[in-house]
Chains A and B, each alone.
Chain A
Amino acid sequence: MMDKRSLLKHEAVKFIPFALLILALPMAFREGYLLNVFVFVGIHTLLAVALNLLLGYAGQISLGQAAFFGLGAYGSGILTATHGLNPWLAMVLVAAAVGVLAFLIGFPILKLKGHYLAMATLGFGIIVYIVFNEAVDVTGGPSGLSGIPNLAVGGITFDSDFKNYYLIWGITLLTILLSLNLVNSRIGRGLRAIHDSEVAARVMGVNVRLLKVQIFALSAVISSVAGSLYAYTMTFVSPTSFGFNFSVELVTMVIIGGLGSIYGSFLGAALLTLLPEFLRAFQDYDIVVYGFLLIFMTMYMPGGLVRGIPALVGRIAERIGIRKKVDA
């Protein structure tokens, strides 16, 4: 167990270079197309971190994350485009409402475990998706909702990739910082205890039921904020972005990066967002690749890339080391 000071130092050593790298990135490719892609890496990182808190730390699966993302996007879109509310206010209101909703459904749903929890969250996600499609009067139905304003603060309107990059990554970095703080706190230890054994956690005085619901609600709130940011960046939303496939994509990001690793979530989000951009062919094969990656990673690299690559490098180094010894 590290004491507080060295823990702080340990995290700072990783976070500060990471944040600086992220903040310096736009200098490398100013207004290009890649900058736009990296805006989405930011949104996906936010979503992956939110899911990772639930799946990686507390060990509770959710196949309905896209629903919270969608509720955030549609909520903000409807409040601003249809009702003319201030975008910031709309974002906060919607996040609060989604948090309350997640809290309320969390109590009954999180009583379920494993496969049944997966099915229940999946069912919730699909119901929300159907509502996005069918409540045409409110959501615009399958053709979507347009005319959503950009965020603005003072005289600055976030209407370009460059501005949106800093807006979204500012919020994402802040969320990463808060999440790191959370997982290193008493709550984080409680979550990991639930992951290992709910009974043991309860015996140790963790309020398992409440803590699970709280982390579910937190993850929903973060996803909702990501959804609002998505809506303000795109100024248009349609149901296809929030279906079951996207929920699975988010799970894939978390698994590839590494369960229970905040930076892993960034890695997974970045990989799954960048790959389709670099490999044109990938777009036709994407679901095959996702399926393969899910199986492969779970079977052979359950710690994700964050732990898998160092382990692999270590093993290779060991091999080489042994060989050197033999040579000598």
Chain B
Amino acid sequence: MHIADQISQYLLSGLSTGAIYALIGVGFAIIHNSTGIINFAQGEFVMLGGMLTLFFLTALKLPLLVSIILAIAVATLVGIAFERLAIRPMKNASPISLVIITIGGSILIRGIAMLIWGKDTHALPTFSGNDPIQLGEATILPQHLWIFAVTVIVIICSKLYFNYTISGKAMRACAYNSRAAGLVGIDVRRMVLFSFAISAAMGSMAGIIIAPLTMTSYDVGIMLGLKGFCAAIIGGMSSGLGTVFGGIILGVLESLGAGLLSSGYKDAIAFIILLIILLVRPQGLFKKGDTERV
């Protein structure tokens, strides 16, 4: 295989993992923008998506589509419960307390998943077969197309939601200034709850569409979550295109790095980018004047 063909193959697989990182990153951004919290438990929603689908599919023998819908619903409920039980009571807490609470929530969810489903790694069946599709010199699996499609649809839906619905606009208002939002009659607490629900749903979707390709287990949430955060940081914590580009940049760099340099250090790439961005451009790569938030 020529090096150019290899590179186009790396680009394609980088794009699909990048799409996953983007979905997770947008979840981070939505919670961050409505509360100022970096939710360290974000990755666990991703894990829950994959593991719950698998559970409904294999243990309860439900059809795939039903399993997926149930998995998203349950993960969303977990997100809501987490906000109600651990975040809302801590209204005036310091950032450090909130970091510790969300880390606590993260390992609690992970631990419970481990107790219920064990430590084994599982594969989810692909949504529509395993026949590779030839794209020029590169090949692509149908699952990759699913990933692209779901990501694009979710991003478009969230854009529509934030721009054209009352509750979406209310959430944006909370992101700009939650006090002022409260003064004009927006129920800020409800919006915070919404933000947890939405990002849990998005995270679980990301976990479901990637699970057929990368396998899933109780502890996949840590790495996926952190990389999603990296995507959000590259995108300047925007819940729109910034983070999508962030995810794609990260996915492609990782894929190229793993293919051309060293696969062992692949995971380090995200964290090196994370550190560089945090230290050099904490406002993200694309900030032009005012960032679009939420």
Find B96's partner among A59, A123, A131, A288 (CB 8 Å cutoff): A59
Find A287's partner among B95, B110, B275 (CB 8 Å cutoff): B110
Q: For B274, list chain A residues within 8 Å (CB).
A: 119-120, 123
B152 an interface residue at 8 Å Cβ cutoff?
no
Find A288's partner among B89, B108, B226, B229 (CB 8 Å cutoff): B108
B96 touches A292 (CB 8 A): no
Inter-chain CA distance A170–B107, complex, in Å, is 34
A122 an interface residue at 8 Å Cβ cutoff?
yes
Inter-chain CA distance A302–B262, complex, in Å, is 44
- Which of A266-274, A293-301, A310-318, A320-328 is found at the contact surface with chain B? A293-301
A11 an interface residue at 8 Å Cβ cutoff?
no
A140 to chain B, nearest CB (A): 14
Q: For B115, list chain A residues within 8 Å (CB).
A: 284-285, 288
B264 touches A134 (CB 8 A): yes
Query: Size of chain B's interface in residues, with CB distance under 8 A?
Result: 44
The winner among B90, B233, B278 for most chain A CB atoms within 10 A is: B278
Inter-chain CA distance A117–B109, complex, in Å, is 23
The winner among A111, A248, A255, A291 for most chain B CB atoms within 10 A is: A291
Find B38's partner among A115, A244, A302 (CB 8 Å cutoff): A115
A152 an interface residue at 8 Å Cβ cutoff?
no
Known A-B contacts A114-B96, A118-B99, A134-B262; A126 and B104 likewise in contact (beta carbons under 8 Å): no
Q: For B38, list chain A residues within 8 Å (CB).
A: 115-116, 118-119
Which residues of A244-299 have CB atoms within 8 Å of chain B's CB atoms? Answer: 244, 248, 251, 255, 284-295, 298-299
Known A-B contacts A118-B38, A120-B275, A134-B262; A295 and B105 likewise in contact (beta carbons under 8 Å): yes
Inter-chain CA distance A159–B230, complex, in Å, is 45
Which residues of B258-283 have CB atoms within 8 Å of chain A's CB atoms? Answer: 262, 264-265, 267-268, 271-272, 274-275, 278-279, 282
A25 an interface residue at 8 Å Cβ cutoff?
no
User: Is the contact region of chain A dominated by helix, strand, or loop, or is it mixed?
Assistant: helix
Known A-B contacts A119-B38, A291-B107, A293-B104; A127 and B99 likewise in contact (beta carbons under 8 Å): no
Interface membership of chain B positions 31-50, coded 1 if the CB is closer than 8 angstroms to chain A and 0 otherwise: 00000111010000000000
Q: For B123, list chain A residues within 8 Å (CB).
A: none
A112 touches B278 (CB 8 A): yes
Inter-chain CA distance A133–B26, complex, in Å, is 31
Complex: chain B residue closest to A295, CB-CB: B104
A113 touches B101 (CB 8 A): no
B69 an interface residue at 8 Å Cβ cutoff?
no
B279 touches A119 (CB 8 A): no
A115 touches B37 (CB 8 A): yes
Find B107's partner among A59, A123, A294 (CB 8 Å cutoff): A294
B160 an interface residue at 8 Å Cβ cutoff?
no
A109 an interface residue at 8 Å Cβ cutoff?
yes
Inter-chain CA distance A83–B213, complex, in Å, is 44
Inter-chain CA distance A108–B282, complex, in Å, is 12
A291 touches B100 (CB 8 A): no
Q: For A302, list chain B residues within 8 Å (CB).
A: 97
Q: For B265, list chain A residues within 8 Å (CB).
A: 130, 134
Q: For B40, list chain A residues within 8 Å (CB).
A: 118
Q: For B222, list chain A residues within 8 Å (CB).
A: 244
Inter-chain CA distance A119–B279, complex, in Å, is 11
Q: Could you jot down 15 A-B contacts, CB within 8 Å? A: A120-B275, A123-B272, A127-B271, A285-B111, A285-B115, A287-B108, A290-B107, A291-B107, A291-B108, A291-B111, A293-B104, A294-B100, A294-B104, A295-B86, A299-B89
Q: Which 9 A-B pairs have the closest CB atoms?
A: A114-B95, A291-B108, A294-B104, A288-B111, A115-B38, A291-B107, A287-B111, A295-B104, A123-B271
**6 more A-B residue pairs beyond the given contacts A244-B222, A294-B101, with a C-beta to C-beta distance below 8 A:** A112-B278, A118-B99, A288-B107, A290-B104, A291-B105, A298-B90
